[in-house]
């Protein structure tokens, strides 16, 4: 079953239990139905509710499904310190056992071992005021890894049971179906729960709905349920489709963006369930939904990140392919060295981006990383390079191309220019200016190297890289000037999207 189908099933089960609780005034019937539905929701054979008997220091199997005769409604378990049940009550949180054969935290009651129980998960049931009533426990005869969604569902179920049990114990009889439902789910603030009439006008707006959507009960009651839908969904008649589907099929999914009172959008995973009277006629609808905006945002960020990584990987492979095809060298060792240098430059840029979650890269850090491969720091070579400029945050898409361009300039300087002699120097200066498109203007200035007679006769791979990366990938411009004192390269690239294109003389 898919996550979406499983979520719908569990939402429907919550709605089914809410309907049953509205009709029943018998605590044992309600607890038995709770066990049946929770077992169905998690796909296990057994579930039970254990009630604490404080005076006797015992747990009473008050309700359950899947157990042999003589267990439910009869068996009492001593609250030993080493039992899973006592462990859960004392910790105030869920206890999970995936495989009892490897469990050493506590002992398992003999009736559960005899029944073949292998895995279990339980959550405490608290009455209002944090008074422990007992435990809701699901058991399985197979090893089972109960996931985060399972635990969240059980805790929500437990939160609903607490106030319901309290009311049935104290009051005994609730006045109306609406009031029964209100008191059952009032504590479930993680879920937005409200009811509507047959015309889909809000009749009951519970605290969870106010917490999620912002409107108070006074503001919401009487309004159409379309109040929480986005303008585009209202325009496309989504609210009408939802109630019509629920009327026809019993339940309709409600998994989409919704609107809060303050205009902020929230992503809701929920459902709408039709409520029918004894005669089968529609009396209204119950709507249950959970705010999963944070999770949705994380999923969207993860999707964007995966696309970005895929895009960068394809770019990297294209660069490697170009380097293999276009690199020229007099012999195989020289060819291998040139290829390794270019691939290493690509790897350094990719690593810098990955370290910052593909959100961009610092220009100075990128420059230092590339130049460090050409300089012997112990020999004082670092003094041959001067890098001065303001702090610049490169966009993710600019880091790798600019890193490759710097690598080619440094390679050329190491072979023929300002880094090929001890007295040579390379000065790198840059500025950041412009609006609305912010521009990086970088100048690479070599001096002190061998005398330069003019531009090379042939256009080498390095020049092609500069053109391909700066002009082709970054939509920028590059100029190369071979002065007698050394090469001067000027690069301009946009740091933010904009309509203009750089123009620097060649």
Give tens-digit pLDDT for 43-60.
887 899 999 888 888 889
Fold: same for 190-291 and 322-494: no
* Candidate from 87-101, 242-256, 328-342, 468-482 with smallest mean pLDDT: 328-342
pLDDT exceeds 60 at position 296 = yes
Q: Contacts from 422-428 at CB under 8 Å and sequence distance 24+?
A: 423/448, 424/384, 424/448, 424/449, 424/486, 425/384, 425/385, 425/386, 426/384, 426/385, 426/386, 427/385, 427/386, 427/388, 428/367, 428/385, 428/386, 428/387, 428/388, 428/389
pLDDT exceeds 70 at position 500 = no
pLDDT exceeds 90 at position 202 = yes
R_g over Cα of the chain: 34
Residues paired with residue 51 on neighbouring β-strands, in sequence order: 60, 134
Residue 346 backbone class (left: φ over 0; alpha: ψ -120 to 50; beta: rest):
alpha
CA atoms within 13 A on the CB side of 435: 0
* Candidate from 46-50, 91-95, 500-504 with smallest mean pLDDT: 500-504
Q: What is the mean pLDDT of the chain?
A: 78
Judge whether 93 and 85 are in contact, CB under 8 Å: no
In which band, very low, low, confident or very high, does the pLDDT at 224 lie, cut at 50, 70 and 90? very high
């053109």: which residue's tokens? 467
Judge whether 96 and 110 are in contact, CB under 8 Å: no
pLDDT exceeds 60 at position 401 = yes
322-494 under CATH 3.30.565.10, yes or no: yes
* Candidate from 118-122, 147-151, 307-311, 434-438 with smallest mean pLDDT: 307-311
d(CA 96, CA 138): 10
* Candidate from 104-113, 163-172, 241-250, 338-347 with smallest mean pLDDT: 338-347
pLDDT in tens, 374-400: 776 445 556 788 889 998 888 877 777
pLDDT in tens, 1-14: 556 666 777 778 77
Residues paired with residue 477 on neighbouring β-strands, in sequence order: 492
Residues paired with residue 387 on neighbouring β-strands, in sequence order: 428
pLDDT for 315 equals: 58
My answer on whether omega of the bond before 436 falls inside 30° of 0, hence cis, is: yes
pLDDT exceeds 70 at position 475 = yes
The answer, as to whether pTM is greater than 0.85, is no
Q: Return the closest-CA partner of residue 454 out of 420, 422, 416, 491.
A: 416
Q: Is the Cα dihedral 198, 202, 206, 208 positive or negative?
A: positive
In which band, very low, low, confident or very high, does the pLDDT at 338 lie, cut at 50, 70 and 90? low
* Candidate from 30-44, 62-76, 348-362 with smallest mean pLDDT: 348-362
Judge whether 19 and 37 are in contact, CB under 8 Å: no
pLDDT for 309 equals: 57
Judge whether 63 and 31 are in contact, CB under 8 Å: yes
Nearest 10 degrees: Cα torsion 303, 6, 88, 113: -130
Residue spans per domain, the chain: 26-172, 190-291, 322-494
pLDDT in tens, 231-248: 999 999 999 999 999 999
26-172 under CATH 3.30.450.40, yes or no: yes
CATH number attached to the domain at 190-291: 3.30.450.20
Q: Return the closest-CA partner of residue 491 out of 374, 373, 398.
A: 398
DSSP letter, residue 379: G
Which percentage of the chain shows pLDDT scores above 90? Answer: 17
């Amino acid at each position: 079953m898919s996550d979406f189908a499983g979520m719908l099933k569990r939402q429907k089960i919550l709605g089914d239990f809410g309907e049953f609780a509205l009709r029943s005034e018998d605590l044992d019937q309600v607890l038995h139905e709770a066990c049946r539905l929770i077992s169905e929701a998690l796909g296990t054979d057994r579930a039970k509710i254990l009630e604490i008997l404080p005076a006797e220091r015992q747990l009473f199997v008050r309700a359950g499904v899947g157990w042999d005769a003589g267990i439910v409604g009869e068996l009492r378990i001593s609250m030993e310190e080493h039992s899973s049940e006592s462990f859960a009550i004392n910790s105030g949180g869920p206890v999970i056992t995936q495989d009892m054969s490897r469990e050493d935290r506590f002992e398992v009651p003999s009736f559960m071992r005899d029944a073949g129980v292998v895995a279990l998960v339980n959550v405490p049931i608290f009455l209002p005021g944090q008074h422990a009533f007992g435990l809701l426990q699901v058991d399985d005869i197979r090893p089972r890894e109960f996931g985060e969604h399972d635990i969240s569902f059980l805790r929500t179920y437990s939160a609903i049971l607490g106030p319901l049990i309290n009311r049935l114990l104290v009051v005994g009889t609730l006045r109306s179906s609406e009031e029964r439902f209100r008191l059952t789910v009032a504590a479930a603030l993680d879920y937005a729960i409200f009811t509507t009439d047959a015309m889909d006008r809000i009749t009951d707006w519970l605290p969870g709905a106010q917490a999620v959507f912002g409107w108070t009960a006074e503001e919401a009651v009487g309004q159409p349920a379309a109040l929480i839908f986005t303008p585009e969904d209202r325009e496309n008649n989504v609210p009408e489709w939802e109630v019509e589907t629920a009327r026809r099929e019993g339940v309709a999914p409600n998994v989409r963006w919704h609107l809060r009172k303050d205009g902020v959008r929230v992503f809701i995973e929920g459902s709408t369930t039709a409520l029918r009277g004894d005669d089968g006629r529609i009396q209204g609808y119950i709507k249950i939904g959970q705010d999963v905006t944070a999770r949705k945002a994380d999923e969207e960020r993860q999707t964007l990140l995966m696309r970005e990584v895929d895009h960068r990987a394809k770019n990297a492979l294209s660069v490697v392919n170009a380097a293999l095809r276009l690199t020229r060298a007099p012999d195989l060792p020289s060819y291998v060295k040139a290829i390794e240098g270019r691939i290493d430059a690509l790897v350094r840029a990719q690593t810098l981006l990955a370290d910052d979650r593909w959100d961009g890269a610092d220009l100075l850090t990128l420059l230092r990383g590339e130049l460090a491969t050409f300089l012997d720091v112990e020999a004082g070579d670092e003094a041959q390079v001067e890098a001065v400029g303001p702090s610049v945050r490169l966009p993710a898409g600019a880091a790798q191309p600019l890193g490759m361009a710097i690598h080619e300039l440094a390679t050329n300087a190491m072979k023929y220019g300002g880094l090929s002699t001890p007295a040579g120097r390379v000065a790198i200066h840059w500025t950041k200016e412009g609006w609305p498109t912010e521009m990086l203007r970088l100048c690479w200035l070599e001096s002190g190297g061998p005398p330069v007679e003019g531009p090379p006769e042939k256009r080498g791979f390095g020049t092609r890289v500069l053109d391909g990366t700066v002009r082709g990938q970054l939509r920028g411009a590059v100029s190369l000037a071979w002065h007698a004192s050394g090469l001067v390269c000027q690069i301009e690239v946009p740091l933010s999207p904009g309509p203009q294109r750089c123009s620097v003389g060649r």
